[in-house]
Amino acid sequence: MKRIIIISLIAMLPVLSACNTIKGVGRDIESVGDALDKAAS
């Protein structure tokens, strides 16, 4: 499970680094959380 989370976070780094606003970062973090929830269930 930890491996999946680490790989997901690494895969999301380019998306997170492309955000220019706090609002955009919040949306990206929320989408990562949603993806992890789906992967865990």
- Alpha-carbon distance values, 38 to 19, 22, 23, 33 (Å): 23, 25, 23, 9
The tokens for 36 are 């992890």
pLDDT surpassing 60 at residue 40: yes
Q: Are 32 and 12 in contact (CB under 8 A)?
A: yes
- CA nearest to 35, candidates 3, 2, 12: 12
For residue 30, what are the domain limits?
Answer: 2-8+15-40
Whether the predicted model's global pTM rises above the 0.85 cut: no
Q: Are 36 and 8 in contact (CB under 8 A)?
A: yes
pLDDT surpassing 60 at residue 19: no
The total of structural domains in the chain comes to 1
What one-letter code names the amino acid at 11?
Answer: A
